[in-house]
Amino acid sequence: MKASGVAKNAFVVAALTALSRVLGLGREMLQSRLIGAGVAQSAFALAFALPNMARKLFGEGALTAAFVPVFKSELENSSLEAAARLARSVMTTVVMILAAFVILAILGLDAFAAWRGCFDAPQADRFSLTFDLVRILLPYMIFICAAAFGMGVLNAFGRFKAASFVPSLLNICWIGALAAIWFFPGLEVALRIKIVAYAVLSAGALQMAFMFRMMAKKGILPYPSFALWRDPKFRLVWRNVAIGALGAGAIQLNYLLDQFLAQLAAPWAAGVIGYAERLMDLPLGIVGVSFGTVLLPTLSGHFAKDDLDGARAALVASLSPLLFVMVPAAAGLMVLAPEVTGFIYEGGEFDSVATLRVSRALAVYSAGLAFFGFQKVFVPWFQAQGDMKTPLRVSVCTVVLNAFLNIMAVLLLPVEWRHVGLAVSTVVCSGVGCLLLGMKARMKNGVLGLAAVLPRLIKIILASIVMACVIYLVKKALPIESCFWRTAILVPLGGGVYLAFSFLSGIRFSPAKH
């Protein structure tokens, strides 16, 4: 794929991802009003973290990163049937491992649940709700990992549309459940969140079925197969998975530690952080994840043909449009965090105190948007070369730093600011990770041509600063108190100022010269 094709496919993915994020935004608006930001939401956030951890380990994370380069090489250098046999064998192993884990985990939960009698009444209720939600959502990890694996297969074929639509299915089912709950205002919050969990489980089954159908259309029938368990390529995939899983696992364990520390920081902290992260994920998911999705199979194809120059051009071509969105989004969200949070979430069970808490975390997370996006496009650079160890080493370094900073935040900060300290730690560690990845890439492959992006980045930063200043001044002068109207006025104003200054500065979307 040519460098210009990376941006084109990334924008296709971004458009479909935007659909999912808009649906997700509607979902969050409903959930915040029907569930709130209290104990029930925190219990759900912790329970949902487990299948998400599996998805990032065995779905779109370590497994996809290890599988796609080998699968792409089979497509480029062998045949479709050989690639299909590899895909079926790997997928069979994944489903078997996850099914065994889910069965053992449910049995273990039933034994561990006997401890709930050791807590007082409020803690016992919280403990019981969390365990019930975990039981419901554990099987979801099988469905979503199988679906994510199918997404990796289709992406390797250069078919990004179907895979990018899959997350929308989850949001559609989720919104349907919340809309049904809306008509039964007498339901307790604990029952409401359980209904949401069952909707998520059903959505996972639908996502898996949809991806299996799309795989079959590409000639890869998803039936169980043990044909290649002794094949060197199959073993190569799992050897790379083992290495990648150590890094991804370190990150996910750190994420679970964050969730645990958030529970210790305050009963509401995990839910508040989750709401802030989902607002941050709106620009990150649309642009950062889109480029990362396209880059892995694209770079894998270049490296399979020993085309280092093509890989460099593809990497450089992805950075300018990514930064063009991420930098102003960061500046705008930092200034407008209270207004955006109030507009999206406030109402019903979600009060002004929750808005304040979420907006504080959102402002901090926003500062790291460019770092988060940079990691999304730079980690595939190593994965496409079959180098799983470099991201692992960087992950371990940042995980250790993040754990230390998080513990310090919980121990030293006031209760109302502990969740903000957790967000600061995430941003700092992401910046450190970007620096380490850049240094390692230069050591491994020489000059990457990233200096070509620097003049454009300077203009983007200047345009973002001008935009943020204008928004801040107008925000202070506005006599309107409504978050809806303030957001409706200030967001288009900021976007217009940024685009106008960018045009006058000569910023364009064309790939950077290499």
Q: Determine which helix (DSSP H) or strand (DSSP E) holds 169, and give its type and residue range.
A: helix 161-182
Contact 330, 464 (CB under 8 A): yes
At 91, is the pLDDT very low, low, confident or very high (cuts 50, 70, 90)?
confident
pLDDT of residue 18 exceeding 90, the answer is no
Find the mean pLDDT for residues 326-333: 92
Find the mean pLDDT for residues 337-361: 90
pLDDT of residue 5: 55
Find the mean pLDDT for residues 14-24: 80
pLDDT of residue 512: 39
Beta bridge partners of 347: 350
pLDDT of residue 361: 92
Tens-place pLDDT, residues 100-154: 999 998 888 777 666 655 555 556 677 788 888 999 999 999 998 888 888 888 8
pLDDT of residue 170: 93
* H helix intervals, 286-348: 289-304, 308-345
At 254, is the pLDDT very low, low, confident or very high (cuts 50, 70, 90)?
low
d(CA 93, CA 404): 36
The overall pTM is greater than 0.75: no
**Which range is most confident: 45-54, 65-74, 343-352, 474-483?**
474-483
Q: How many CB atoms lie within 10 A of CB 219?
A: 11
Beta bridge partners of 350: 347
pLDDT of residue 513: 41
Contact 66, 300 (CB under 8 A): no
Q: Measured between alpha carbons, how far is residue 380 from residues 26, 291, 350, 372, 390 in Å?
A: 31, 10, 39, 13, 11
Find the mean pLDDT for residues 336-344: 92
pLDDT of residue 396: 83
At 179, is the pLDDT very low, low, confident or very high (cuts 50, 70, 90)?
very high
More confident residue, 47 or 392: 47
pLDDT of residue 119: 54
Q: So where are the chain's domains?
A: 3-505
pLDDT of residue 511 exceeding 50, the answer is no
**Which range is most confident: 73-87, 263-277, 470-484?**
470-484
pLDDT of residue 49: 80
**Which range is most confident: 7-16, 158-167, 223-232, 413-422?**
413-422
Q: Which of 223, 236, 252, 239 is CA-nearest to residue 55?
A: 252
More confident residue, 114 or 16: 16
Q: Which of 229-233, 283-287, 351-355, 367-371 has the lowest mean pLDDT?
A: 283-287
d(CA 82, CA 70): 11
Look at the alpha carbons of 47, 49, 53, 54 in this order and tell me if their dihedral is positive or negative: positive
